[in-house]
Structure 1
């Protein structure tokens, strides 16, 4: 995702990512530009372009930093408890600002095929892997039968979340996270002894 060249100044990198997050929160993504980020971070535009190929890539890295800090994977207890925990963390992160990042990035991914691939590889594939690992643990613990299609189950969970995030027709809160957890629990077939 980053370009070769002079090593990054960690101070400049943090300033750029903090500026990106602040501007996204203030403007909801409308009119976000490299120029505005550079001005807010007190760096030159060439510094940003040296490290990120596009504006969307700056936003993606800001999102990844936020996700890594706010969405931790708990030790597996049961499918219901672990899934509810991770979904509650996810909707909290969305409410705390990640939702603006995600809507912005999804819009950019529809316009730029190369960025769509970077977004898939660096964000959506990683989030899918986390959720699928929870489902795989559930199979090991007998919460899900071995014949369950874990890829489709992962798609269902993220499909519901993306739809609500992109349309905004209803809240994404703890109640929503709990309802998605309940829906999954009704869909899965536990291993029968």
Structure 2
């Protein structure tokens, strides 16, 4: 996304806008989100928002990225299995703690707007895939594990299972699921 020409963003106003998105999504979900509601809650003009973001989904994306950076740090445990389980557990907790509304909103919007889908993939999906891929790569480089299949497939399996549960809602995204998914990935490891 190209930077727009004009005044630089005010950190205070930017923070207020992203905080407003957080609050509105928690209170009303995606259906209650509008530029007017965000501007009112953040006490900024609508023009300020339009100047800084090409769409409401881009604001949600930035707020979601800020949230993910705080709530899903990459752990550095001794074993791959424990590192992986903690990563999944923190991901599930983040989703259960309000991240679900962000992800559903972003995924729905990405299906309606092809240009936004490309930004969503580049700024969110690929970054989350890179984090998980780095965990897998570190484990293989340190000699802890060797996978029977290429790691890109494992990343798809893990995030595919998470997205499916998130979007369909047929089963919980919880600690038990993090444990099950860890066991599935460990099953893709070759015997030592």
Q: TM-score, normalised by structure 2?
A: 0.95
The Cα of 1:49 is off from its aligned counterpart by 0.8
Match of 1:130? 131
Once residues 174 and 165 of structure 1 are traced to their aligned partners in structure 2, the CA distance between those partners, rounded to angstroms, is 14
Structure 1 gaps of 5+ residues are none
The Cα of 1:76 is off from its aligned counterpart by 4.5
Matches within 5 A, 1:103-182: 103-145=104-146, 148-182=149-183
Matches within 5 A, 1:1-193: 1=1, 2-145=3-146, 148-190=149-191, 192=192
The Cα of 1:64 is off from its aligned counterpart by 0.4
Contact kept? 1:3, 1:53, Cα under 8 Å = no
The Cα of 1:161 is off from its aligned counterpart by 0.4
Q: TM-score, normalised by structure 1?
A: 0.94
Once residues 90 and 67 of structure 1 are traced to their aligned partners in structure 2, the CA distance between those partners, rounded to angstroms, is 9
The Cα of 1:181 is off from its aligned counterpart by 0.7
Structure 2 gaps of 5+ residues are none
In the TM superposition, what whole-angstrom CA distance separates every residue of 1:55-106 from its partner, at most 9, and x where no partner exists? Answer: 0000000000001111111125222100001111111111111110000000
Contact kept? 1:78, 1:143, Cα under 8 Å = yes
**The residue matched to 1:142 in structure 2 has which SS?**
coil
Once residues 80 and 178 of structure 2 are traced to their aligned partners in structure 1, the CA distance between those partners, rounded to angstroms, is 14
